[in-house]
Homo-oligomer: A and B are copies of this chain.
Amino acid sequence: MAIIVNKKEKRRNIALACQELLLEHGIDNITISQIAKTAGVGKGTVYEYFENKEDIVFEIITTFVVEYEKRFEEISTSDLATREKLFRFFNLLFENETARRHLVIYKEFLAISMVHEIPEMLRFSEEIQAKFVKFLHQILQEGIGRGVLQEGIEDYTHTMMLFGTGLVVDSRLGIYEIGKEIECFLDMIFMFKQGGAS
C-alpha cells in the first residue's frame, strides 16, 4: 500500500519549519528557494502543496496566529483580575522581545492586507478578529459579572478592538508609549463603573 501523505499535514509541516525563517527575513524578503531549502524539499514540491508564495507565507503566519489564539484564550480563562486580563490582552504583542518579533510580521501582514485587500486575506483577518472579539467579550462579561465593569460595556467590544489595531499600527510612532496608552484606555473603561469621570 502506497504511503498516502496527508496534504494538509505536509502543508503545516513545511510552514512550521519556516517560522524562524519568516521572523528572520520578513514577508517581503523571504524567497521560495529559502523556504524550500529550509523545509528540506524542492521548490517544485512547495508548489505541490501551495498555490503560490502568498499561500505559503499565509500558512506560516497562520501557525503564529494559532499560537496567539492559545495565548489569548489562556488570558481570558485565567483567574487574573479583569483589569490585568485586559492589560495583557492589549499588551500581548508588546510584552517582550519575542512578541515584538511577531509584531513585526503581523504589521507586515497587516500592511499587505491593507493595500491589496485580497479576499482570502480579508476573510482570514475577519476570522482572527472575530476570535479575538470573542475572547475580549468573555473578559468583559466576566468583569461585569464580577461587578468591576459597568453593564453595557460589552457593546464597546468592537471599539476596543479598533483601539487595539490602532495601537499595533501607531506603536511605531515615538509619541505613543504603549503601556501608558493601554492603562489610560483601561482607566476610561473602568471609569464608567465609578459613575463617570467626575
Which residues of A are interface residues toward B (Cβ below 8 A)?
2, 26, 28, 42, 44, 107-108, 110-115, 117, 122, 125-126, 129-130, 150-153, 155-156, 158-159, 161-167, 169-170, 172-176, 181, 184-185, 188, 191-198
Considering the complex, give the chain B residue whose CB is closest to the CB of A164: B166
Contact indicator B197/A153 (Cβ below 8 Å): yes
* Choice from B115, B126, B155, B194 contacting A108 with Cβ under 8 Å: B115
- Total copies of the chain: 4
Q: Is B166 touching A181 in the complex (CB atoms < 8 A)?
A: no
A185 touches B170 (CB 8 A): no
Instruction: State whether B173 touches A158 (Cβ < 8 A).
Output: no
**A159:B173 contact, CB within 8 angstroms:** no
Q: Which residue of B lies closest to A26 (CB)?
A: B115
Checking B126, B155, B197 against A174 with a beta-carbon cut-off of 8 angstroms, the contacting residue is: B126
A184 touches which of B44, B155, B188 (Cβ 8 Å):
B155
Is A159 within 8 A of B185, CB to CB? yes
Q: Closest chain B residue to A150 by CB distance?
A: B197
Chain B residue at minimum C-beta to C-beta distance from A111: B111
Given the known interface contacts A162-B181, A196-B193, the answer about A122 and B173 at a Cβ–Cβ threshold of 8 Å is: yes
